[in-house]
Every structure is written in C-alpha cells, then in structure tokens.
Amino acid sequence: NEKNSTDEEKVQVKRESQPAIFIPVHRSSEIQEARLKLPVLAEEQVIMEAVKENPAVVICGETGSGKTTQVPQFLYEAGYASGSGIIGITEPRRVAAVSMSQRVAKEMNLSTRVVSYQIRYEGNVTEDTKIKFMTDGVLLKEIQKDFLLQRYSVIIIDEAHERSVYTDILIGLLSRIVPLRNKRGMPMKLLVMSATLRVEDFTENQRLFRTPPPVVKVDARQFPVTIHFNKRTPLEDYTGEAFHKTCKIHRMLPSGGILVFLTGQAEVHSLCRRLRKAFPFRRGHSADGSEAMRKFKKAKQKKTVSLPRIDLDNYSALPLDEGDEDREAEVREEEEDNDDEGSDLDLGDHPANSVENADPSLPLYVLPLYSLLAPEQQAKVFRSPPPGARLCVVATNVAETSLTIPGIKYVVDCGRVKKRFYDRVTGVSSFKVTWTSQASANQRAGRAGRTEPGHCYRLYSSAVFGDFSLFSEAEITRRPVEDLVLQMKDLNIEKVVNFPFPTSPSAEALVAAEQLLVSLGALKEPPRTGRVQEMERARLSCPITPLGRAMASFPVAPRYAKMLALGKQQDCLPYTIAVVAAMTVREIFEDLDRPAGSEDESQKLTQRRARLTQMKKLWAGQGASLLLGDLMVLIEHVCAYVTAGAVGACEFAGCTPKFCEENGLRYKAMLEIRRLRAQLTNAVNAVCPEVGVFVDPKMTPPTEHQVVCLRQIILAGLGDHLARRVQAEDALDPKWKNGYKTPLMDDPVFIHPNSALFKTLPEFVVYQEIMETTKMYMRGVSAVEAEWIPRLLPQYSHFGSPLESPSPWFCSTTGTIRCHRPSTFFRVGWQLPAVEM
Ligand code: ADP
Ligand code: MG
C-alpha cells in the first residue's frame, strides 16, 4: 500500500521528518505517475531519516530502482539545496552525468540552469545551479581547489559498485572531509549509492568511517529472468554470434525489446549495421498498419506458442571482423570521433544496403548506445520505438548499471568487457577485452526482467560462467599507482599509506611509487639523517615539489610527465611531445617479421625489410642524432608523417594509410599519436601559457644542439631505466659479451640488433622497457653521457669509494662522474643545466 500512497501523503511524511523546510516541486502528472512506480519512492522516508541522523549513508538498490534520478530530488525537496550549499552527484561515466542531469531537470520541471552537469570538457553549470551532476574526476579536481568543498551541502557518490579509482579515492577523501565540515559547523552529508549489496568495503572499513554508515536497501520488483547458456565453448567471433542470436530472437520470439551487450564502440556499430541490413526499417514504413505489420503479427503468432529454447550450436563461425592487432590499437578508442550516425534510419532505402535475405517485413528499430554517443542519439533509447517495430539496443557496458532502458525483455550477453589495463613498464594504459565477472553478467541478465518476465541469452557456456570471477575487483589493485600517488600529493595528502582507501593498493606498490616519484624530483627527498625508523617513515611521506605539481597536470605517466615538464627548454617541446606520444603508443612500426599469409605479402614484407635496413644505415650516419638512438627514430617518423601531412591540402592530409604502408608504420598508431600530440600540447599550454607551443604542422628535424638537449630530457624521465655497458673485466665472461648492467637485475641486458644503437654500444644508455625474447632486450634505447647523470639523477650518484656506496654499480672507476650537490639542482626549479656541446 505504500506504493499506492499519493503524493499528498508523501508530502505529509516529509513534513514530519523535515519539519523546517519543504521545497515544492511541480511535476507533470505523467512524470508523477511514473515516479510513483519506482521502488526507491517507497523508501523515501527511510532514506531521508537516515540522512538526517547520519553524516554518511549507503543506499543499495537494483539498477532502475530510481536511485540516480530520485534521491537528488528527495534531497532538494527536503531543503538541502535551499541554503548556500548545493547537491552534487558524481558518476563514473560522462554519459550518465549528462543524461541524468537532463532527466532530473525534466522530471522536476526545472531549467538546466538549475539542474546541471559538468564533465571534463563541457558543462552547463550556472550561478543558479542547485543540483550538479558531474564525473568523479571533476569533483576530485574541485577538491584540489577547495578541500572542504564548501559549495556543497550534500555529495552523492553514484555507481560506487563499479569501484573506479576516482570513486574509491573520493570516498576516502570524503570520509575525512565530512567530519571536518561538521566539526567546523558547516554540516555536510555523504551518500554512497551502489547497485549491488556488496558494500562492506565501504561500511566495514574501520579506517574509512569510525561508525559504520547505515545501509538502506531498496527492494526492486524484479521479474524472473530465464538464463540460456550456449552449449559450446564460446566462439571468438562473439559479434557474429550476437548477430545470429538477435536475428533468431527477432524472428521467433514474442514482442519485447532486445538489449545486446558488446564491448566497444566499433563492435556496436558493426552489429548495428548488420542488423539494419538484415531487417531494413524506415520511418513510416509500418506506422500505417500495413502489410508488413500484418506479416509481423502473423509471424509472431505462429512461432510463439511456447518460448522455444534457441539452439545456437549450429551456427558456423564467421571470419573475424577485426584482427587482434586492431583491437590492441584501439587504445583510447573512446576518444575516437564518431562516424556514421544520423541517417541510419534510411539505410534500408539505399540499394547498396540491400542484402539477399534482408527481411523488411520484420521491422527492427536498431539503436547504438555507448559512452561517447551524442546526447540526442542517446536519448532515443528512452523513447518508445515506432509502432510495429521492435526495439533493439546494441550497447556497451553503459547499459549494465548506469542507464536503464525501458521495455527490454531479451538480453543477449557476449560475456566480455573492455577493461583498462596498465603496463607497469611503459605506464601505458590500454583497453583489452576480457571475460566479465559473475556479478556483472547477472546485472546484465537483470535488465530483461524489469517490466515482465524475460530471457537472457549468454553467448558462452555455463562452464565458462563458472570460471568468471565473482565480482569485478577494484581497479586500484590492478594497476601501478605512481600517478595516483602523485595526484594525491598534489592534493597535499602527504602520507598516502595512511589514506583510507576502500581497498588499499599493496604497501609495496605504494613504496615503489613514492621512490620513483622522489627519483623523478616530483617529491622532496626524505632526510638521510635521524633514526632508522624515522627515516623509514619519512620515506613514505615525502612532500610534493613544484616540479611535481607541474607533472601532476599532464595526462601521462609520471616518467613522461617529467619529460614534458623539462621539454620547454631550447624549443624542445614539440619534439618532446612527439617522442612522449610515440612512446605512449605501444608500437608504431608494423611487424615486418610476422609470417606472411601469401606469396604476395611475403614479397612485400621482404621489400619493406630491405627498405628499413637502408634507412637504418642512413640514420646511423647522422652523427649527433644517432645517439638519441631509437627515440630519434620515433621522432623522425613522427616528423616525416607530420610533414607529409603538411604538404597536402589540409593539415593532416598526408597522414594516409598509404604513407604508413610505404614506411612500415601502423596507421592506427599514427592516428593515435596525432590525437595525443594535440592533447599534450593543450595540457602543456595550460600549465605554462608563456611557452605557447602549438601542434606544428611542419616539424623540422631537431638541431644537433636540440638533440643533446632531448637526450638529457629523456635521461631525466627514464633515469631509473639506466644501463651501463659491462666493464672490461666482466666482459671476459661470454655471457656478458656486449651486455649491459642495470641496477635491479643480476643478468645482463642487451641492445637489440634492430636498434639504431646496436653497432654503437654506448657506455651509458636509458631504455623504455625490457622485453624478453631470445635474450633480455632493451627497447627504445638512447645514449646518455656519464657526466649528465649526477646532475640529472643526483639520487643515483654519490661521493666516496665504490665499496661504501649503496649502489656501487654506478660509480665510475674512471672518475668521470663528479657529483654536484643534489639540492642545488632542484632548488632552482626545474631548469636543465646548460647544455654542453
Ligand atoms: P537507478 O539509478 O536506480 O539505476 P534510475 O534513477 O537511473 O535508476 O532510473 C529510474 C527510471 O527512470 C528507470 O525506469 C529509467 O528507465 C527512467 N529513466 C531514466 N532516464 C530517463 C530518460 N532520460 N527518459 C525516460 N526515462 C528515464
Ligand atoms: Mg543509477
């Protein structure tokens, strides 16, 4: 009967629990009716009382129960935004921040000046804003400016179950901010909202909240969903499999929307295209109750006496749409501009789009849904499909918990998810497709049972499901944390080990991060005096330096951020940006050693290998630049590519697949570098506007002087990846022939025969990473001069005899390393010492 209670009664309830203030909202009756059906409405009183009594409250409720759209409204009506403070809601995804702010504005009959959003590059927040949706990253940046978040009276952390790194850190920070605010007489509330019941990391973590926050559970009415597993081991081509499955559902099963889960934008588009070809659909096509509609109904009646169990096992595997290599290259795919939206509804009209077995009698209204889809396109999924047509949404993970699509009865789940992985060596993040967790798969299935009993078709066997991890693990435990530690130090959190992480990264990971940041000069070196314990403690609470603050503002791993921070000298910035962009993209060259698929390809590969050898000879003859080694090769290619583009009509006209093919480059990698260069250039300009770099369309090769400078910049960033050629006495051991010694490994490492420095064998080199193939090979090698080391890496240099030294391998027996006092270098800021020629 609570569900039947009228709005009047609700108002009554609220007046009792919040007698002082009630801010009326004028909703349309249609909206009001829809709201009253949402399970969260039944808990309004419980939620508001919990919020009144406690500084922090956790709310758990199934996706679609109304948490995101309704809870901010409860708070608004109860007066939480009527004073100077406003209501803030964070979302891990941009799409949710934008679309939810619009929805709530509409429900409340308020302008978007009042219910607004802010995401990284855009927003519509005004002075009148009372409810502000934002991404978690935006709030983190705001904390950097005002630690007490004085603008807000309430912060809601939404989608906490996703355990994104920023969400985790925000909860940790807010667990301190809220008590501080209350102590200072500026009360503030924290709400944490989760779609799963697994919230003990937030509630039972003693470091986080001294008194565990109450958990309000919202019981969603969920209809039963029948799960159908694939019998066979899942096929590689899950997009093709999803296509067949969707076709079968559409042909054979009663009406009801279909929601297909794939992993990324490219897959979503590919499946949308195939489905639209198979079931062409035009606006107006079936709106008049035409022949098509009758056929559709007839087909439905005939085939749906009972729900048949679909047999998937007789499909033949289709060739892969995209190679693995492509997938790997789709790092940052999310940022890719998008392509062919807009005219999609008319696809069926075009003769080129007709396929043999296209079936226009069964209209299917196919819509894509993913994070970066334009808002107007996203909004389409919430509208009912044109009469007579079945809705089919092809979505990424965003439809799992962030957005609830009405009218879904069938879910097709590929069982995979595109996840961010971090490469400890390069600090590069990339997106890879992996199996999802059982919890996520169940969330996806749940989307089918919102309004009536539904069906979920899993494109994998139950055995495979059994092997899924139970829950998605917190992102923070899966990645190196030096960038996070730097961000937190930038927030003036000095003792990161004591930070109340909901799930803490390992102590080793934190120590390693702190040490690396000290060695990069981003953190101040701890004092070397005092008792051992004190020194230990100091090692874990180093304060940030001005250089560290500059580095924290660049969107790359700290090693590369250091290079960017130094790059402004001697006009080196465009080259530094080019080399950082190229190093961040995993591999810019095509693999010429791969097995050829055909005679023709084999010939091509041989030709290209010959060409590469020739080019290498050319580089080897280029004196000073040679010493920049493999990184010079990267710069040269970026320069050549950019210049080729400048010759064309538009800025990037030359950046064609043909140019890349001729030069053995991966086209996708080069596109990625192009985007990154623009992004990094903007970031550097924002930090040091006086430098005023721009993405130079015609980059000339660096001068010899600049090359020397660049080598120092690279040494400064990759300093912990320093290697020294083995000394005469050890070189007698055949194992060590032409080998290099590194600080952390006992075994020698080598310069690869493909490296530009293979013949040169400089005494000191820095490398980007070590790859083990037949030997331990260094990748991305650059030569450095011994006398630069004490200046740029004072922490690796020392006075005294090798025997007393903590890291004797660095002490030059020839006495070439003379140490300068470390402090003098960093005290003057972050200028490079004068370049020696
Ligand atoms: P939760 O946050 O608990 O997952 P939401 O508040 O997002 O739930 O959704 C509540 C309801 O509002 C759902 O039924 C959903 O379909 C509906 N809804 C959300 N956004 C829109 C929109 N833009 N247009 C129409 N309905 C919407
Ligand atoms: Mg939600």
Tell me which residue of 296, 386, 377 sits closest to 394, measured CA to CA.
Answer: 377
User: 60-79 pLDDT, tens per residue?
Assistant: 998 889 999 999 999 999 99
CB 704 within 8 A of CB 625: yes
348 lines ligand 1 (CB under 6 A): no
- Helix residue ranges per DSSP H, 360-461: 375-379, 398-401, 438-446
User: DSSP strand E in 163-214: where?
Assistant: 189-194
Secondary element (H or E) of residue 717: helix 704-717
- For ligand 1, is residue 378 a contact (CB within 6 Å)? no
pTM reported for the whole predicted model: 0.66
Cα 66 to ligand 2 centre (Å)? 7
Decide: 504 in ligand 1 pocket, CB within 6 A.
Answer: no
CA distances from 324 to 278, 328, 433 (A): 26, 6, 10
* Cα–Cα dist 351/659, whole Å: 33
More reliable by pLDDT, 417 or 289: 417
Q: Please, what is the end-to-end C-alpha distance for the chain in angstroms?
A: 85
Give the phi and the psi of residue 51 in degrees, each rounded to 5.
-65, -40
Of the chain, the percentage scoring pLDDT greater than 70 comes to: 75
Most confident of 94-108, 571-585, 810-824: 94-108
| Highest-confidence segment of 10-14, 739-743, 802-806 | 739-743
Percent of the chain beyond pLDDT 90?
Answer: 32
pLDDT number for residue 546: 86
Asked if residues 417 and 399 have their Cβ atoms less than 8 Å apart, the reply is no
State if residue 39 touches ligand 1 by the CB under 6 angstroms criterion.
no
Q: State the SS3 of 739-784.
A: CEECCCCCCCEEECCCCCCCCCCCCEEECCEEEECCCEEEECCEEE
Closest residue by CA, ligand 1 atom 6: 66
Report the distance separating Cα 418 and Cα 672, nearest Å.
18
Give residue 234's pLDDT. 61
CB 402 within 8 A of CB 427: no
Residues 6+ apart with CB under 8 A from 164: 92, 136, 475
Neighbours of ion ligand 2 (CB under 5 A): 68
d(CA 558, CA 479): 14
Phi and psi of 752, rounded to 5°?
-70, 145
Query: Residue 519: CB within 6 Å of ligand 1?
Result: no
Ligand nearest to the CA of 93: 2
For residue 71, the ligand closest to its alpha carbon is 1
Q: Which atom of ligand 1 is nearest to the CA of 65?
A: 3
Of 565 and 290, the structure prediction assigns the larger pLDDT to 565
Which ligand 1 atom is nearest residue 158's CA?
Answer: 2
The answer, yes or no, to whether any atom of ligand 1 lies below 6 A from the CB of 453, is no
Is the C-beta atom of 240 inside 6 A of ligand 1? no
pLDDT tens for each residue of 197-214: 788 888 888 888 888 999
For ligand 1, what atom is nearest to the CA of residue 406? Answer: 16
Beta carbon of 73 within 6 Å of any ligand 1 atom: no
pLDDT in tens, 727-737: 766 667 888 88
| Two structure tokens written together for 614 | 């020739």
CA-CA distance, 172 to 202, in Å (whole number)? 9
Report CA(103)–ligand 1 centroid distance (Å).
8
Ligand number nearest to the C-alpha of 91 = 2
Any ligand 1 atom below 6 A from CB of 779: no
Ligand 1 atom, smallest distance to 103 CA: 23
Mean pLDDT, all residues of the chain: 77
Calculate how far, in angstroms, residue 465's C-alpha sits from the geometric centre of ligand 1.
29
- Whether pLDDT at 244 is above 90: yes
How far is residue 42 from each of residues 74, 217, 218, 591, 636, measured CA to CA in Å? 12, 11, 8, 60, 65
Q: What is the DSSP letter of 523?
A: B
Query: Mean pLDDT across the stretch 270-296?
Result: 65
- What does the pLDDT average to over 531-558? 81
Closest by CA position to 489, among listed 404, 537, 428, 546 = 546
CA 649 to chain centre: 34
For ligand 1, say whether the CB of 230 is within 6 Å of any of its atoms. Answer: no
**194 close to ligand 1 (CB < 6 Angstrom):** no
Mean pLDDT of 322-351: 28
CA of 91 to the centre of ligand 2 (A): 9
Q: How many CA atoms are closer than 13 Å to the CA of 804, on its beta-carbon side?
A: 5
Asked if residue 69 has its Cβ within 6 Å of ligand 1, the reply is yes
Tell me which H or E stretch contains 494.
Answer: none
Distances in Å between the alpha carbon of 712 and those of 523, 637, 651, 680, 833? 20, 20, 31, 20, 9
Q: Give residue 19's pLDDT.
A: 41
Stretch 500-520: mean pLDDT = 86
Give the ligand whose atoms come closest to the C-alpha of residue 62. Answer: 1
pLDDT of 704 higher than 50: yes
Mean pLDDT of 688-697: 62
Q: Residue holding tokens 């400048």?
A: 646
In DSSP terms, which residues pair with 781 in a beta bridge?
none
Q: Which pLDDT score, from 0 to 100, does residue 313 have?
A: 28
Pick the more confident residue, 741 or 52.
Answer: 52
Distance, in Å, from the CA atom of 159 to the CA atom of 452, rounded to the nearest integer, reads 25
Q: How far is the CA of 64 from the centre of ligand 1 (A)?
A: 6
> In this model, does residue 305 exceed pLDDT 70?
no
38 lines ligand 1 (CB under 6 A): yes
The verdict on the CB of residue 257 being under 6 Å from ligand 1 is no
Does position 300 have pLDDT exceeding 70, yes or no? no
681's tokens = 């250039």
Phi, psi (rounded to 5 degrees) for 692:
55, 50
C-beta of 443 in contact with ligand 1 (< 6 A)? no
Q: Which of 421, 399, 373, 422 is nearest to 266 (CA)?
A: 373
Å from CA of 218 to ligand 2 middle: 13
Query: Which of 132-141, 395-404, 431-440, 486-495 tops mean pLDDT?
Result: 132-141
Tens digit of pLDDT for each residue in 477-493? 877 788 889 988 988 88
pLDDT band for position 594 (50/70/90)? low
37 in contact with ligand 1, CB cutoff 6 A: no
- Listed residue (127, 129, 106) closest to 116, CA to CA: 129
Within 8 A by CB and 6+ apart from 210, the residues are none
Q: In which element (H, E) is residue 751 found? A: strand 750-751
Average pLDDT for 5-27: 58
Q: Is 66 in the pocket of ligand 1 (CB under 6 A)?
A: yes
Output the residue whose Cα is nearest ligand 1's atom 23: 103
Residue range 230-236: mean pLDDT, rounded: 74
Pocket test residue of 101, 103, 376, 384 for ligand 1, highest count of atoms within 8 A of CB: 103
Ligand 1 probe mutation, 33, 37, 69, most atoms within 8 A of CB: 69
Q: Can you tell me which atom of ligand 1 is nearest the CA of 40? A: 3
681 Cβ closer than 6 Å to some ligand 1 atom: no
